[in-house]
Structure 1
Amino acid sequence: MNSIILLKGKVNYQITLDPGVWIFDDRKIDLTTYFQQEQEEKNELEEYTKAVSKHWEREIREGAIFPPTLKTEQKFEKIKILTGTFGIPFKPFLLNAELQENASEVRFITEDREVTMPISDALQLIFGFSKDGKPLNEDGPIHVYYGDGSNIEYPIKKVKEIIVQ
């Protein structure tokens, strides 16, 4: 099965999406808890600034050595990646492709059907790309979930390409 998905159509830049590398992306989210918690819009610059400040504060207090808690956190993170169920928001990819002014909807082409939705809805989508630490080989490469989780039981599966119209 080919795991590469093309994002094309009324965009300034065609993008090739490879779900196999998203496990290393900081934007990944844990799908086991994502739809059960309250969603809030995050300011990425603000989040980055807070993380850097926290790290800097730790180095000032404890020195530049790795305290035992940091090693434990890294081990926990590795285990989480190897056993977790993850997704990634579609919004950054859609924005990086730079939609043309006359674009109005996004069409998902799967093996057996086509699903079309307005861009405003597409900006809220989450792409599931791993389940229990494994890629979605049988019915993937991604599962498309609505931002509110209303299709969590029956996501859009077997996506081959995404076309902005």
Structure 2
Amino acid sequence: MIVPIIGNVTYSITLDPTVWIFDDRKILLEEAFTERENVQVEENELENASKRWSRAVYQQKINPPVNKSISRFEREKILENSYVMPINEFVDHAEVNENATDVTIVTSKGDEHISLEALQSCYLLFAVDGKPLKEEGPVHLFYKDGSNKDNPITGIEKIVIN
């Protein structure tokens, strides 16, 4: 249930979509393809990053890190929805080398080739009705413009930056 990002990168990283259900960066699937929501999501990401930074600095000075508990209502809501995760932040963390131009997405059905720029603007579907994808999973790839909304890239085994 993991997806490595390897190839022409400084750091090969491994994505574990099973833990994203509790990640603040996740986006509801039905909101992912609306332009208005994307602007709000970017603002929320900046605000959440600021809060995480403040919390980390505060905890470093006073207390050891403590996970915020999730209320029962939030837990039930999480387990009822489908979510996507923007892939661009993970690709940025891998630090793609300057001479990289395209991407090979290795799937159980064969390889898919897309540009690096296209990959930067993709979502990974990782949960349907609050549960990890088991069929054709662990993630499905959607373009942010929604052009493959009805036919995502499925069965992804690894992402190779070329």
Structure 1 residues 79 and 119, CA gap change in structure 2 (3 angstroms): same
- Choose the corresponding residue for 1:149, options 133, 146, 149: 146
Q: Deviations over 1:123-143 (max 9, x none)?
A: 100000000111110111001
Structure 1 residues 75 and 5, CA gap change in structure 2 (3 angstroms): same
Alignment partners' CA distance in 2, 1:45 and 1:85: 19
2:3 matches 1:5: yes
SS at match of 2:91: helix
Residue of structure 1 in register with 2:48 after alignment: 48
Structure 1 segment 100-119 matched on structure 2, within 5 A = 100-119=97-116
- Matched-pair identity in %: 37
User: In angstroms, what is the RMSD of aligned CA positions?
Assistant: 2.3
Letter matched to residue 27 of structure 1: R
TM-score, normalised via structure 1 length: 0.79
Q: CA deviation at 1:98?
A: 0.2
Structure 1 segment 1-165 matched on structure 2, within 5 A = 3-38=1-36, 39-40=38-39, 42-43=42-43, 46-48=46-48, 74-165=71-162
- Contact 2:25–2:45 at 8 Å: present in 1 too? no
Letter matched to residue 31 of structure 2: T
TM-score, normalised via structure 2 length: 0.80
SS at match of 1:151: coil
Instruction: Compare 4-13 and 73-82 and name the one that shifted more.
Output: 73-82
Q: Deviations over 1:45-94 (max 9, x none)?
A: 74238869xxxxxxxxxxxxxxxxxxxx9443211111110110000000
| Structure 1 segments unaligned to the other structure (5+ residues) | 53-72
Q: Deviations over 1:102-159 (max 9, x none)?
A: 1111110001121111111111000000001111101110010001111111100000
Aligned length: 144
Select the structure of larger CA radius of gyration. Answer: 1
Q: CA deviation at 1:42?
A: 2.0
